[in-house]
Structure 1
Amino acid sequence: MVEALAETGWALFPAEDAVSRWAHHARAAALDRIVTDAAHREAWLDCEGTWFVGVDTLLNDRDGALPDGPPLSGTAYEAARATYGALPLHAGQVSITYPGYPRPRAGESDAALRYRRDRDAAHVDGLHAQGPDRRRHLLERHAYILGLPLSHADRGASPLVVWEGSHHILRRSLTEALSGTAPEDWASVDLTDIYQAARREVFDRCTRVELPASPGMATLVHRLALHGVAPWSEGAEAEETGRMIAYFRPEFEDVTQDSWLTAP
């Protein structure tokens, strides 16, 4: 599986009992303390009610354990730790999509909505759009993306999407853009143009792969892989809770190193 991650940019792990137990507890915590919380709904329910973004809302510890719940474990998480080190986990994202996704996000232009609908809002995490001109800068240096489904849903219920092999193209382009700049200064480099050019190359050359998954399964996505969320297909069904996934994106801790570009 780790070899597949390095080659294709993604790996899908079969269901395991330990992961199922963690997902069951995380789902209950999300439904009891996050999704129904008025402040969270005000902050995170977007796209006209079809996406609960839920960044940093899961109350786990640095090892992924929730209060009174089992520790986060499983082949995917252990493989990530073996490859990238025992990086501390942030509060997990609880991402929930509902039938009708995507509707326009608050303040989103028509062009941005078309990109969300037609290109799955494909992006590389950590490259943030800033300022009125939406220029892209590297503000978060994730090591990997770990996705843990929390609900059952049809294959067409807004699955995660990855462009296979796209991390090779992004790595080459971003290495060129950041060459000559010390790693601790990478956030100052405007990556917009080279990032957009790399995305166009990815769309031309790479295969789009949908990765539907159920509780107990896990996905690992390479930090430089172009990925997004597919629209909710007509007729697709899910539990009343919607399609729920918890995501972890731990960051490399030493910004003086070039790990974000050079690690496996």
Structure 2
Amino acid sequence: MSEKGVQHGNPWQALQQYTNARIGIGRTGTSITMHQLLQFRLAHAHARDAVYSKLDVDGLLAGLSQFNLPVIVLHSKAEYREQYLKMPGLGRDLDTPSAELLRAYAPGADIVIIIADGLSAAAVNENAVNLLEHLMPMLVNDDFVLAPVCVVRQARVAISDDIGAALRAKISLILIGERPGLSAADSMGAYLTYGPREGLTDEARNCVSNIRQHGLAHKQAAEKLFYLVKQALNKKLSGVLLKDNDEHGYVP
């Protein structure tokens, strides 16, 4: 309050234009306003829905057809969603039929691209093909040898190690739904691993996260990933040893 009893506006509200975080939302007494409470509950419902959303395999197959690559549909050892959520380890390995299916494909490629549901299939349904529409031309124009695209249900990031090793790809790149938060339930992450093989942990990977319409734009994410792919191949490594020094983006 000013000396004349006039209440000033919340100075935090000016920052709302820069973030989706809940800042400057005001209060009523010691609590937030009813409007903000309802918005919070709605965001929480969206996050829960995202965790239980299903991979739109038919839609993905239709979108991927433009790239003229074989597409393999696979499944982890987690048989259903509740099991996937309660037993994370099952989502890191391919089930037996999927492992056998990969053996039918000739091994050897520069990169295998994997699309997986993760913790938000809705994010992948919305963002994966849009990202690849920018990334694929870069890879093709630079003469990369591409393995069949793999679409995987009930998967965790580490399943890319199984797939990359089976196809003997130098790099695995998995596009996967990130854990939904209360400001973003549609965020997709991309994890790159050089020399994928069983037993790797997260420090062996590079991650580009928050890929979505109101986060990191698809074109910008594709340029970042293309840079990382080239650096990984040139230096024969990924993860904490591969530094992201890209300042200029993709140059065709």
The question of a shared fold, defined as TM-score above 0.5 by the shorter chain, is answered with no
Q: Per chain length, whose mean CA-contact separation is higher, i.e. which structure has more relative contact order (CA < 8 Å, sep 6+)?
A: 1
TM-score, scaled relative to structure 2: 0.24
Larger radius of gyration: 2
TM-score, scaled relative to structure 1: 0.24
Q: Relative to total residues, which structure has the larger helix share, 1 or 2?
A: 2
